[in-house]
Structure 1
Amino acid sequence: MEQQYATVTLDETMVQDLASRLRGALLRPGDADYEQARQVYNGMINKHPALIARCVDVADVIAAINFARDHQLTLAVRGGGHNGPGLSTCDDGLVIDLSEMKGIRVDPEARTVRVAGGCTWGEVDHATHPFGLATPSGFISTTGVGGLTLGGGIGYLARTFGLTIDNLLGVDIVLADGSFVMASADEHADLFWAVRGGGGNFGVVTSFLFQLHPISTVYGGPMLWPLDQAADVMKFWRDFILNAPEEINGWFGFITVPPAPPFPEQFHLQKMCAIVWCYSGALEQADTLFQPIRAHIPPAVDFAGPIPWPMLQSLFDALYPKGLQWYWKTDFFTDLSDKAIDLHLKYSAQLPTMHSTAHLYPINGAAHRADASDTAFSFRDANFAEVIVGVDPDPANNERMIQWAKDYWMALHPYSSGGGYVNMMMDEGADYVQAAYRDNYARLGEIKATYDPDNLFHVNQNIKPTT
């Protein structure tokens, strides 16, 4: 029977009891650090938790989970805080804030890295890069390791080494009953299957163990073309990336050129299309590989070249700082038809704000080696992940950019595979969650019933426990 979680009146004795069990700080409204601590990456989210437990170790996480469960308190879990719909926080409940849990240990011989649950990908890259190693992650280095991994992990290295979850070897996780378990292919294999794409539905992951790969300097960066060349560029990119060597990746996007260096002044604030490349093969072969790309339709702006992996990963961090207004829409696509391309061109010409954008990420190559049922992430037959985002600093533009994103998505959705990427969805309800997992949803519900039968972990893209 699923438990109902609601606003609970907390008396001082209860709060002090929890505080005494934590090594980390317990913040309440009015505390000096509370306002900063309650803010998440998306400035559109404005929630006021009753308590924020800034956990510093596993014992803190256990204490916070037990407190929320015993007092039937709404519970949210925050790592990097990048979740678009703000599902890493809540009103009037308890937030488990993992951002103080920062330990990272690289084993260069085994080529593995153990990462604590509060780390960001920039911090992981900082630790692994001196060893010439990396693991697949995303596109913005301030993103939290936990959220990106648990939702699947689409990024620059997906065609080469698969999704982030395909490089996950095990997790340490605290369950709803307060118990601590290790999940891997050999222990709690059902739970390990579920956390590889099933989000934060099954517990609080306090550390991740990843496989590393020899990645140090790659050949990458953006190329830009005028919007009137976008149809030809997009069709070329589609045909190229579906058949390219797995060592090369490049996502396609529609952008408004920022009015700042290093972009040439004549292109400032122009709407353009872009491909942001990442080639992780032999650098001496890169110019030869990219020669036909440059020759087909010469780019107006060409920044692609040798670049340290952490620099590519953080290339857009400054453009998208914490606190902007964000609205996301997402779908997977097996094919990118000429008709779909025409629709992309129509709506990209209407980018409502400078920060608003639409991207198509390739998820073929190594990401296709797993079957749909091998992990909770089910769209192993899709070739592209689409994300449409309305972004701006000013809340006054929210209505306009949200409507643009919805209209854009509605136009393209009939050509999609029928479901979206949970890491890039807003809080759109049960039907969208089920569509994201397709045939895997029933098994996820059974595993949820085993590990979280009362749905304590429900502030997420929620999977209901099967009764």
Structure 2
Amino acid sequence: MTTSSTTSSTTPTATAATPATTLDDLRTRLTGRVVEPHDADYDALRTVAAGGVDARPAAIVRPATDDDVVATLAFVRATGIPVAVRCGGHSSAAHSTVDGGVVIDVRDLLGIEVDADSGTAWVGAGHTAREVTAALAEHGLAVGFGDTGEVGVAGITLGGGIGFLSRAHGLTIDNLLGADVVTADGRVLRTDAANHPDLFWGLRGAGANLGVVTRLRFRVHPVRDVVGGMLLLPATAPVLAGLVAAAQAAPDELGVIVNVMPCPPLPFVPADVHGRLVVMALVCWSGAAEDADAVLAPIRSLAEPIADLVAPTPYAGMFPPDAPPEHPTVVARGLFTDVVDEPLAARLLDRLAEVDGMRVAQLRVLGGAIARVPDDATAYAHRSARVMAYVAAFVSPEDRDERAAWVAATAAALDRGVPGVYVNFLGEEGPDRVRDAYPGATWDRIAQVKATYDPENLFRRNQNVPPAAV
């Protein structure tokens, strides 16, 4: 058994009282690094996942301790320079960087401490989902982070966290038991259901609006091997509608992510299929292995698979290999929906067939444990949504407007009037769309929490909820 040795305080540290006012001064106060444009690794460290982004921060701070974050925020307040917070750097809106400002890059805040007896783990905010999943796998444990290993655990968690295990064990935020946070005024707070519960409520869904999270405490679950992988099916309306319906009817232990897209040049797929529209189902059965065939039978019976790679695998094997360092420019739009029937599926396939190039419509079946949490329990307020949809296309400067119009029209074809959008899939789409992510009373409550912990809106490089007027 191991336990966390992390410590925290509830008052500003000494570094906040006499803030640095130059980068040279700041550098002398930090255990971690200050990276400037003349440093050899500046370009590598400033790069984010989103394509078409060439922000040049004045400095990238790589804190090694909470006090480093405190000192950096004091510098930001004293100088008025804008600040962004980065973990994995996968913000669709490129909020992980800021031109001419300071990026607090938490990727050196590491450490994973697993208490298998209590089913909990403390995790440094700088880790990726792959790193945490691998560390937990050594104990036969897991927490759901999504479907991509490269993402930072802090970023995906604070926005909600929808992935293969969500129907069985809830969103990532539903498994967040506590966190260490540096607030805008330089306090280091340990927050959970009993300590600063208003802040803890907001951290579970409000993204980076409320502070710099440095450590997270998760509830973890016994998950060792799953039955999962890729099932490649023909792109027909009956297959697509049937797949979504079968996933919705399945036990909660089945997670399904559906991508309708041109078939990549996969070596195990006939060459004449490459480039043709296919239904790529990524399935993950985390229940008893002997039940997998029966659970998956309704999906496998929809059509003769083009490829069936579903097999027993360690849960960590559900993450694809790290992607090559490419940064395509993407236009996208997310939404929630309820039912994907055959007429809607046919419209979607027609839309995808109208254009060429790389494009995808993704459908994630929700429900299960996600829906058993009340809407007002966390700042993620879309518990009743049954399906999450996401339409995206790669673009170039020459065809951006045309592709953006296609994405908007295709998303509209999927829209059945279900309100809301998942904040982690939200790009730079304007304040109304941020309101869609945080509807009604959720917006008002986040704004009140913001007024308590960040009344000056220091943390505004995000899907921003301004503080309520005090």
In the superposition, the TM-score normalised over structure 1's length comes to: 0.92
Backbone CA RMSD of aligned residues: 1.8
Q: Which residue of 1 aligns with 2:433?
A: 432
**For 1:30-49, what aligned pairs fall within 5 Å after superposition?**
30-49=38-57
In 2: Cα distance, 1:436 partner to 1:428 partner: 11
**For 1:152-191, what aligned pairs fall within 5 Å after superposition?**
152-191=160-199
- Cα deviation per residue 1:381-427 (whole Å; 9 max; x = unaligned)? 100111112236x66664554333223223333x1422211101111
In 1: Cα distance, 2:404 partner to 2:385 partner: 26
Letter in 2 for 1:437: Y
Q: Which residue of 1 aligns with 2:352?
A: 348
Contact 2:163 2:255 survives alignment (8 Å): no
**For 1:3-152, what aligned pairs fall within 5 Å after superposition?**
14-152=22-160
In 2: Cα distance, 1:292 partner to 1:359 partner: 20
Evaluate the alpha carbon distance shift between residue 321 and residue 183 of structure 1 in structure 2; reply closer, same or farther with a 3 A threshold.
same
**For 1:215-254, what aligned pairs fall within 5 Å after superposition?**
215-227=223-235, 229=236, 231-254=237-260
Deviation at 1:327, TM superposition (A): 2.5
Q: Which residue of 1 aligns with 2:394?
A: 391
Query: Does 2:419 match 1:418?
Result: yes
Letter in 2 for 1:244: A
Q: Which residue of 2 aligns with 1:455?
A: 457
Aligned residues: 449
Evaluate the alpha carbon distance shift between residue 87 and residue 352 of structure 1 in structure 2; reply closer, same or farther with a 3 A threshold.
farther
Q: Which residue of 2 aligns with 1:443?
A: 445
Q: Which residue of 2 aligns with 1:9?
A: none
Query: Does 2:288 match 1:282?
Result: yes
Evaluate the alpha carbon distance shift between residue 127 and residue 351 of structure 1 in structure 2; reply closer, same or farther with a 3 A threshold.
farther
- Cα deviation per residue 1:348-373 (whole Å; 9 max; x = unaligned)? 2245423x322111110110010111
In 1: Cα distance, 2:398 partner to 2:124 partner: 38
In 1: Cα distance, 2:436 partner to 2:256 partner: 27
Deviation at 1:338, TM superposition (A): 4.4
Evaluate the alpha carbon distance shift between residue 136 and residue 165 of structure 1 in structure 2; reply closer, same or farther with a 3 A threshold.
same
Q: 1:266 aligns with which of 266, 272, 278?
A: 272
Deviation at 1:85, TM superposition (A): 1.0
In 1: Cα distance, 2:281 partner to 2:350 partner: 18
In 1: Cα distance, 2:224 partner to 2:397 partner: 39
Q: Which residue of 2 aligns with 1:308?
A: 314
- Cα deviation per residue 1:199-238 (whole Å; 9 max; x = unaligned)? 10000000111111111111111111222x2x11122123
Letter in 1 for 2:289: L
Evaluate the alpha carbon distance shift between residue 187 and residue 351 of structure 1 in structure 2; reply closer, same or farther with a 3 A threshold.
farther
Q: 5+ unaligned residues in a row in structure 2: which ranges?
A: 1-19
Contact 1:101 1:117 survives alignment (8 Å): yes
More off after superposition, 57-66 vs 447-456: 57-66
Q: Which residue of 2 aligns with 1:369?
A: 372
SS at match of 2:218: strand
- Cα deviation per residue 1:413-460 (whole Å; 9 max; x = unaligned)? 3x1422211101111121111111112111111111011000000000
Q: 2:302 aligns with which of 280, 292, 296?
A: 296
Contact 2:244 2:365 survives alignment (8 Å): no
Letter in 2 for 1:16: D
Contact 2:202 2:378 survives alignment (8 Å): yes
In 1: Cα distance, 2:412 partner to 2:100 partner: 34
Evaluate the alpha carbon distance shift between residue 308 and residue 416 of structure 1 in structure 2; reply closer, same or farther with a 3 A threshold.
farther
Evaluate the alpha carbon distance shift between residue 464 and residue 133 of structure 1 in structure 2; reply closer, same or farther with a 3 A threshold.
same
More off after superposition, 153-162 vs 215-224: 215-224
- Cα deviation per residue 1:269-295 (whole Å; 9 max; x = unaligned)? 222112111000111221232233322
Evaluate the alpha carbon distance shift between residue 429 and residue 296 of structure 1 in structure 2; reply closer, same or farther with a 3 A threshold.
closer
Letter in 2 for 1:358: A
Letter in 2 for 1:438: P
Q: 2:362 aligns with which of 353, 359, 384?
A: 359
Evaluate the alpha carbon distance shift between residue 62 and residue 321 of structure 1 in structure 2; reply closer, same or farther with a 3 A threshold.
same
Contact 1:334 1:381 survives alignment (8 Å): no
More off after superposition, 273-282 vs 402-411: 402-411
Q: 1:382 aligns with which of 376, 382, 385?
A: 385
Q: 5+ unaligned residues in a row in structure 1: which ranges?
A: 1-11
In the superposition, the TM-score normalised over structure 2's length comes to: 0.91
Contact 2:450 2:466 survives alignment (8 Å): yes
Evaluate the alpha carbon distance shift between residue 391 and residue 143 of structure 1 in structure 2; reply closer, same or farther with a 3 A threshold.
farther
Contact 2:21 2:79 survives alignment (8 Å): no
Contact 2:336 2:387 survives alignment (8 Å): yes
Contact 2:246 2:298 survives alignment (8 Å): no
Q: 1:333 aligns with which of 330, 337, 359?
A: 337
SS at match of 1:200: helix
Contact 2:120 2:219 survives alignment (8 Å): yes
In 2: Cα distance, 1:207 partner to 1:322 partner: 29
SS at match of 1:221: strand
Evaluate the alpha carbon distance shift between residue 351 and residue 122 of structure 1 in structure 2; reply closer, same or farther with a 3 A threshold.
farther
More off after superposition, 447-456 vs 271-280: 271-280
Q: Which residue of 2 aligns with 1:7?
A: none
In 2: Cα distance, 1:243 partner to 1:145 partner: 30
In 1: Cα distance, 2:391 partner to 2:31 partner: 41
Contact 1:352 1:390 survives alignment (8 Å): no
